[in-house]
Amino acid sequence: MDQSDKIIEDVIHLARFGSEGRSKDVKALARRMAHRYRESHPSLSAGLATLSTGGGVTRLARRPMPVDADSRMALARMFEPSLAQEPILPKSIASKLDQVIAEHRDSDRLKLAGLAPVRTVLLIGAPGVGKTMAAHWVAAQLNRPLVLLDLAASISSFLGKSGQNLRQLFDFGREFECVLMLDEVDAIAKKRSDETDLGELKRLVNVLLQELDEWPEGGLLIAATNHPELLDAAVWRRFDVVIELPLPGHNERARLVTRTCPSWSTEGIDALAALSDGMNYAEIDSHVRRGRKTAVLAHRDELEAVLAEFSEVVQGLPNAKRQDISKSLIEAGLSQRKAAEITGTSRNTIRKNSQKEAS
């Protein structure tokens, strides 16, 4: 049998599997064919490689989300691709996310070169720094739904059920083209040397390791944690890319305020960026929104109301920190009187500090 006849035979098998709804067999055969014809028929190989990763074999909406056998609660929540906002991140961090997106958008070119796109990404960082927003953004850029693990539904009180739930969810993610996200992954990936944990949680880590090893090429799994120090060492090794999201710096805080309040003056935006030093994105956004609502309801100037909202937080900080913020506010264009009022630092202290720097 020459190669042309072999291709025809393989295509007939592929069509039969597809007509019978055997999507797993379709993907398995497509993977073998992509490898078999990579040299002789590169275009055919690239198309089959895309098919083998789930691109269009079965649509996500045609199958309900897997559920816990006892509670019947869905094991995950699905978010369709939407107009997700781009996370505000330092350029060095944003470029790493862009690389992940580019690899999956242009995966065919990588496959022709014998390469594969990133399969697994671990996002680490404090609460509120944009880990979940980053996952939503990546999914939207790839036009894939985001499937987010629901820990409350997945962790069962019955021995062995949590592992079964996790396997169900991974099977679901392999079957359909989506971005699978394991938020708070430390809850299911703790160090197995931790003697305070039950044996069930240790078994769950083993299940997770196996599922990560079997996660397919072309699939994308994003995990996130606030507590990287809790993760089992073997779990770390299963992630192709680890991205640490820091607390926002001055530039990022200014960009966030600009996005929320584009009509504000540069001085006002710089003042808010100075006042929010040490806060995460979620905290800044919450304070700005509260201040704006106060302005609307009390018929006050919006910037003044937002500054007052942040003032309550700043005045609870140590003296040295309040003095640093006072300096930043003055550099942003506020008067010494206003800086003293907002930070609760005396004008005499601010004046003395200014004189010291001038001398």
How far separated are the first and last CA of the chain, in Å rounded?
91
- The one-letter amino acid code at 291 reads G
21 pLDDT more than 90:
no
How many other CB atoms are found less than 10 A from the CB of residue 157? Answer: 9
Give SS3 for 329: helix
56 pLDDT more than 60:
no
Give the pLDDT of residue 355. 67
- The one-letter amino acid code at 145 reads P
55 pLDDT more than 60:
no
Q: Is the pTM of this model over 0.85?
A: no
- Higher pLDDT: 64 or 115? It is 115
Cα separation, 140 vs 81, whole angstroms: 5
Average pLDDT over residues 310-321: 85
Please tell me which of 141-150, 324-333, 339-348 the model is most confident about, judged by mean pLDDT.
141-150
Cα separation, 92 vs 239, whole angstroms: 19
Cα separation, 16 vs 46, whole angstroms: 21
**How confident is the prediction for the chain on average, in pLDDT?**
84
Contact 163, 203 (CB under 8 A): yes
Q: How confident is the model at residue 134 (pLDDT cuts 50, 70, 90)?
A: very high
For residue 46, what are its two tokens? 């690239």
Q: For tokens 């109301």, what's the residue? A: 305
**How does DSSP assign 15-81, residue by residue?**
HHHHHTT-HHHHHHHHHHHHHHTTTT-HHHHHHHHHHHTTTTTS-GGGSPPPB-TTT--BSEEEE--
Tell me, rounded to whole angstroms, the distance of Cα 190 from its chain centroid.
20
Average pLDDT over residues 178-184: 94
**Nearest to residue 197, comparing CAs of 50, 42, 270, 206?**
206
